[in-house]
Amino acid sequence: MKLFTAQRRHSVLAFGEQRLIVAIRGWLGDASPRSPFGIGDDCAVVPSSGRPMLITTDPVIHGQHFDDTVPARAVGAKLLKRNLSDIAAMGGRPVAAVLSLALAPETDARWLRDFYRGLAAAARTFRVRIVGGDITQGPRGFFGAFLTLHGEAAGSRAVTRSGARAGDALYVTGALGGSLLGHHYKFTPRLTEGAWLARRTEVRAMMDLSDGLAKDLGSLTPRGLAPALCGPAVPVSRAARRRATQTGTAPLAHALGDGEDYELLIVVARDADRAAFERAWRTRFPSVPLSHIGGFVRAADRAALAGAINLRDYNGYEHLR
Amino acid sequence: MKLFTAQRRHSVLAFGEQRLIVAIRGWLGDASPRSPFGIGDDCAVVPSSGRPMLITTDPVIHGQHFDDTVPARAVGAKLLKRNLSDIAAMGGRPVAAVLSLALAPETDARWLRDFYRGLAAAARTFRVRIVGGDITQGPRGFFGAFLTLHGEAAGSRAVTRSGARAGDALYVTGALGGSLLGHHYKFTPRLTEGAWLARRTEVRAMMDLSDGLAKDLGSLTPRGLAPALCGPAVPVSRAARRRATQTGTAPLAHALGDGEDYELLIVVARDADRAAFERAWRTRFPSVPLSHIGGFVRAADRAALAGAINLRDYNGYEHLR
């Protein structure tokens, strides 16, 4: 068995990302516990002798997550912030990170210095300690930085992606789309907001938006339910409008499909006092928009879905393409 | 500032591995705490609300850590075992791992299946749970798997690399050298041995051998001291002898410089009852050799170093070359 194949049908590309993740769970079998203790949530929740640990891992790879227009410092900061966003999505508090680098021999040491300085500055801002790592030589033209971040629940629970029920409401923070114009590395992970939300008992489930609302919503939707989104309620960013003008497309398509929003998507219980919840949010976070964009209905309930956005019309970010 | 440079003097290659690691510590500044709480030991020790956490990260990259002669299953197992060896070196117990993959689109899904099955089998053997991960597309011809392993001290302490004093004795497990002939992926991490050693009060410091004894010893040697190794006492593996015959070199050179031994290097206090220590080892691990290979002396003590191996004559594995 060779590592690489010339036959496309045997390649991971032919598999596609979603099928590959399902297959990997099968291959790992009982070596990988069920979500949230295993694959499938923003972070893995690991029982420990103290508070449950949260672990997440995300890389930045040249050509995938940044290009030569992004300053080295911003690349280092983005690497940490992507992972912080996953901790935020569970209502966690970050603690420590390790970094594994694979870099081409011709990597400029001055660029690398700025990358590390950007990482260090973000680590100080968000009170994370960089506690270890590894450096390995990679092939020419390659730069990949693979960070693993550890944290713990900020309050008494970690909020997972599961738990939504029919009738629950969907909220989103900030405004969506157009991240390519700068937001993809200029964002601030919603750590304070996530920790606050985890303490609210009406919040049933939560995740951060990385691949675009249209695709990410799937991970929050239990079997038998469907999300019913109200188009005009979706907060479209100014960048999404600019991209739409540049490319002659619909702003909503960018808000739903661009990815790298790093905003929080929140499920609020159907019996909650939503007005009180919204008021409490505005008092605590007066400058961060919180939008009620729809809710979950039974998938068989065609009437409830009439007029809702058909999410299949909008593609999210596909990691293998 | 560009990521890659055409001028060799600015490249990380010109920096070299050791200088680069020192530079990185400077760039991170106070975002990175001191060893063992930060960079510089086999694992980072992270204080937590429960027992101190151990974290380590090591990848396998095609062309660096394996080639097409190594079965996919063995590559998956090696990835976990390399990291387990670091946990073993601190007397730790492994708990959970996350895996970040960067893979070329033409990666064969059947190879990947065997890789994951090998990883899962090793995870079951060593009671590690694979709790999460990430998959990102990499450039053509690239396969890198970056694993981060979490554990905790098996007993009351984590044994670090620091603590050796003049007069202390040096021991090593197993036999060294020639890993290229198969040991580099067929080894068993010394978890049981490491946990046992951590409970022995005469053990002052410990590490695992990954880059070759000649190079690795430097990390165990405090300023002002020098290791005095007795050449004939160094356990030379059969593979090292075979390599020496194949290449017309000295077997000892392979034992000191080949790397990927994954054996434990142990510092035993000068005032310990070494005979009792060796007896206890033989009773507990009758089939694992333990060799007394020398000790630490003051670097200024020329007389004590006469007749000892001059380690500068032997190169360890250099990660950037």
| H or E stretch at A77 | helix A72-88
Mean pLDDT, all residues of chain B: 93
pLDDT < 50: residue spans in chain A: none
Q: State whether A59 and B146 contact (CB < 8 Å).
A: yes
Is any Cβ of chain B less than 8 angstroms from the Cβ of A94? no
% pLDDT > 90, chain A: 84
Q: What letters, b where the CB count within 10 A reaches 16 and e where it falls short, cover A69-97? A: ebbbbbbbbbbbbbbbbbbbbbbbbbbbb
In A, residues 127-156, which contact B (CB 8 Å cutoff)?
A: 128-139, 141-144, 146, 148, 150, 152
Q: Which residue out of A3, A84, A135 would a mutagenesis test of the B interface target, given it has the greatest number of B Cβ atoms within 10 Å?
A: A3
pLDDT at position B51 is: 75
- Other Cβ atoms within 10 Å of A235 Cβ, number: 17
**Considering only alpha carbons, which residue of chain A is nearest residue B23?**
A113
CB contact, 8 Å: B61 with chain A? yes
Strands B129-137 and B92-103: parallel
What does the pLDDT look like over B77-108, one tens digit per residue?
A: 999 999 999 999 999 999 999 999 999 999 99
Q: Mark which residues 17-36 of B lie under 8 Å from A by CB.
A: 17, 20-21, 23-24, 27-33
- B2 interfacial to chain A (CB closer than 8 Å): yes
pLDDT at A317: 67
Query: Whole-angstrom Cα distance, residue A173 to residue A190?
Result: 9
pLDDT of residue B45: 92
DSSP string, A140-172: TT-EEEEEEEEEEESSS----S----TT-EEEE
Sign of the alpha-carbon dihedral angle for A100, A216, A314, A174: negative
Instruction: Identify which has the larger pLDDT, A184 or B307.
Output: A184
Provide, for chain B, the percentages of residues in helix, strand and coil under a 3-state DSSP scheme, each rounded to the nearest 5: 35, 25, 40
Query: For position B47, what pLDDT does the model report?
Result: 80
Pairwise pLDDT comparison (B308 vs B168), residue with the higher score: B168
Q: What is the ipTM metric for this complex? A: 0.91
User: Across the interface, do A132 and B57 touch by the CB < 8 Å criterion?
Assistant: yes
Strands B225-229 and A92-103: unpaired
Helix axes B17-28, A109-125, angle to 10 degrees: 30
Q: What is the largest CA-CA distance in chain B?
A: 60
Contact yes or no for B21/B68 (Cβ under 8 A): no
- Tell me if A108 and B51 make a contact (CB, 8 A cut-off): no
- CA-CA distance, A51 to A91, in Å (whole number)? 13
- Residue B286: is the preceding peptide bond cis (ω within 30°)? no
What is the enclosing helix (H) or strand (E) of A41? none
Return d(Cα A70, Cα B190) in angstroms, integer: 44
What DSSP designation does A10 have?
G
Would the CB atoms of B105 and A58 count as touching at under 8 Å?
Answer: no
Packed helices A72-88 and A109-125: angle between N→C axes, nearest 10 degrees: 30
What is the H or E stretch that residue A40 is in?
A: none
Of A64, A86, A63, A60, the C-alpha closest to A73 is A60
**CB-CB neighbors (< 8 A) of B15 in chain A:** 109
* Domains (range + CATH), chain B: 53-153 (3.30.1330.10), 169-313 (3.90.650.10)
Q: Considering CB atoms only, which of B5, B134, B152 is closest to A49?
A: B152
